[in-house]
A and B are shown apart, each in its own frame.
Chain A
Amino acid sequence: MANQSGADFWRYTQTVLRDIGLLLHIPGLMALISLPICWLAGEGYATGPFLLTALVSIGLGQGLYRLFKGSVEAQLRHAVVIVALSWGLIPFLGAIPLWGVALTGLDIPSITLDHFQDPINALFEAFSGFTSAGLTMALDSGQLPYCLQWWRSFMQWIGGVGVIVLVISVLEPSTDPYQLYNFEGRQRLIGLTLRETVRRIWWIYGLYTIGAIFLFRIAGMPWWAALNHAMSAIATGGFAITGNSMSAYGPPVQIAVIVVMILGAISFTIHAQVIRQRRVSALWKDSQHRLLWLLLGFGGLAVLFEKYWFVDRLSGLEVIFQWVSALTTCGFSSADIGSWSPTNKMLLSVAMIFGGAAGSTVGGLKLQRVASLFQGIIWRFQRLALQPHQMMRYELDGEVITEAEANRRVESAAVLGVLWVTAIFVGVVILRHVEPYRYTLADILFEVASALGSAGLSAGLTGPEMPQMGKIMLMVFMWMGRLEIIPVLALLIWPLNTLRRNVVVLRQYIK
């Protein structure tokens, strides 16, 4: 009996390891692509670290892949663990360039760069990159060498579109792609086949990135900044190369950035409809996008009002920028949020937890679930008003659904909502113990929400001076949040389950 479950477990592990091997190629390929940029920027000393990254990634990847090549095709139960583990391991590889360049670039007088000699800082930055969070260990990102500025933006650009989508487009015949795809929280297939969908997502993503580059250039950013910030903005990442994020720029650029952030928060499905079918009305037809506009508008007014009440001075663009950055979980900042009122910090925290539309590059709970929850509340009250024989009509996004389907939607949103709230609570408790008391509870909540929601705005806690425990905790939260918590929990429960099974077997022997 023990042998059978042992053999099953080994077979399961083989599939998982093989597919992780496949995904591990990604940072390696990214590093190879980045080499020309190092050379063009005249930063030859960076060649070593990037080559090392490529070597380790592709080496490990090939090793795992070839070793377990013959294993079973991945199914949903594999996909969860594969996604969780890959996305926990890839940042380790992504940290190598940062750490390596910090060590080899010793003659560069930059405190910012020196901090990346600490592997934890490099790892943090990599996690923040691949989860397109945006919290940064860089004191002044403007002082970083070009190759590292590029690497950070590149990590976010790839992380935004989802490592999984990347895999499918890299053609893996033996993995059942839909399983992996689904766990990324992408909604509704755009094209006819999965590959078609992925291709279209890439097209739209690429198109918008290029558009953003030109838009930023026209608004006034220099080309290099436009490139990096466009990649970061469309991925709703938040890494900047200015040192003080978007405070470095004037209103025209800030407005351009707001536009791109909002574009990044709209789902690919809707983008596809607008572009291919010229149906602009799709932007407000479904419940989650309507909620997006509603939250952008009314939420914006709320924070504006709150800021005015607090400081007695109207600072419109500044407030709107932060609000949009929080709701779209981008993370660019144009103000010092640490000095804002606790209420505004809480409002922003809620925005970061809500996130933007499901099926886009945003983090957070995602508005489809928030909309389901609100809809659930409305239905609840409608049901109260029903008469004894009256039947309830459940309408969602223009179609009528059965009661079972309606309940399922609300239930899955509620379960995830509870998980998020629990995670935030745990995070706040831990961080409160780790951080010095000069940070208020609102600050702590803000930082935790920012990490879990992959937003990237900071109330001032995040930085190289942060206690190591705090950095590790936020890294875990960025990882958890990007995967929408359940895959990470599944990963943690998985060994417990096998342990439990073995304990049952043991008990039988003892009896």
Chain B
Amino acid sequence: MHLIVVGAEPEGWYLIDCAMANGYRVTLIEADQDKARKVLRHHDIKVLNGTVGEESILAEANAKDADAIVATSADDAVNLMAMMLGQEYEIATRVAIARSSHHTQLFEKIGAKVITNPAEIVAKELYGLVDAGTKTGSQQ
């Protein structure tokens, strides 16, 4: 099963780990050379250095026979472009991170599954723990 990951951010890192552990073949597209090289050091996967919108890059990534494309970059514009191109190449599963909640609807409109602002989600979880902790603390 072939997965294309766009953007070597922390979420992308763990995703690659996960996917490879489950037997996926992963291709990474990352514009920053150093970030790309770091991933290359840890995984023997195909790494393409360039922006997802660049002319032939998705063709090089063999997008035609990809089963899924995940956009985890830091820039919503890039993520959005990745989803649109994914649609063009008729990739079945398209998933993205939206860094800002303002953009969530855009992703949904083009049929991509989206997780909005992971930082906020984690922060809320953390707050929940803090809240629970301070409440039981004050009861004692």
Contacts and interface: CB of A to CB of B under 8 A. Distances in A.
B125 interface: no
B6 to A, nearest CB: 13
A391 B44 contact: no
A388 B41 CA distance: 20
A33 interface: no
Q: Chain B's interface: helix, strand, loop or mixed, by majority? A: mixed
From A388, A389, A391, A402, name the one whose CB has the most chain B CB atoms within 10 angstroms.
Answer: A389
A393 interface: yes
Contacts of B44: 393, 395
B63 to A, nearest CB: 12
B48 A387 contact: yes
Contacts of A3: none
Contacts of A389: 29, 48-50, 54, 56-57, 60
Given A389-B60, A390-B60, A400 B41 contact: yes
Contacts of A387: 48, 60
Interface in A361-404: 387-391, 393, 395, 400, 402
B92 to A, nearest CB: 23
Contact of B47 (A390, A395, A402): A390
Nearest to B47: A391
B80 interface: no
B40 A388 contact: no
A407 to B, nearest CB: 15
A400 B33 CA distance: 16
Contacts of A388: 56, 60
B64 interface: no
Nearest to B29: A389
A400 B43 CA distance: 10
Nearest to B27: A390
B37 interface: yes
Interface residues of A, number: 9
Interface string B44-82: 101111100010110010000000000000000000000
B49 A391 contact: yes
B46 A390 contact: yes
A391 B41 contact: no
B3 interface: no
Nearest to B40: A393
A391 B60 contact: no
B36 interface: yes
A395 B41 CA distance: 9
Interface string B21-42: 0000000010001001100110
A402 B56 CA distance: 26
Interface string A433-471: 000000000000000000000000000000000000000
A386 B60 CA distance: 10
B84 to A, nearest CB: 19
Contact of A391 (B36, B56, B57): B36
Contacts of A391: 33, 36-37, 40, 47-49
Contacts of A393: 40, 44, 47
Contacts of B37: 391, 402
A388 B56 CA distance: 9
B116 to A, nearest CB: 29
A393 B29 CA distance: 15
Interface string B123-139: 00000000000000000
Interface in A285-308: none
Contacts of B60: 387-390
Contacts of A402: 37
Contacts of B56: 388-389
Nearest to B43: A393
A404 to B, nearest CB: 11
B8 to A, nearest CB: 11
Nearest to A400: B41
B66 to A, nearest CB: 15
A388 B37 CA distance: 16
A393 B60 CA distance: 17
A389 B50 CA distance: 6
Nearest to A403: B37
A12 B44 CA distance: 50
A389 B37 CA distance: 13
Interface centre among A387, A388, A391, A400 (most CB of B within 10 A): A391
Contacts of B48: 387, 389-391
Nearest to B54: A389
Contacts of B46: 390
A389 B59 CA distance: 11
Contacts of B54: 389
B60 to A, nearest CB: 4
Nearest to A395: B44
A402 B46 CA distance: 16
Top 3 A-B residue pairs of the complex, sorted by shortest distance between their CB atoms? A387-B60, A389-B48, A389-B50
Given A391-B49, A400-B41, 11 more contacts: A387-B48, A389-B50, A389-B57, A389-B60, A390-B47, A390-B48, A390-B60, A391-B33, A391-B37, A400-B40, A402-B37
23 contacts: A387-B48, A387-B60, A388-B60, A389-B29, A389-B48, A389-B49, A389-B56, A389-B57, A389-B60, A390-B47, A390-B48, A390-B49, A390-B60, A391-B33, A391-B37, A391-B40, A391-B47, A391-B49, A393-B40, A393-B44, A393-B47, A400-B41, A402-B37
Interface of B: 29, 33, 36-37, 40-41, 44, 46-50, 54, 56-57, 60
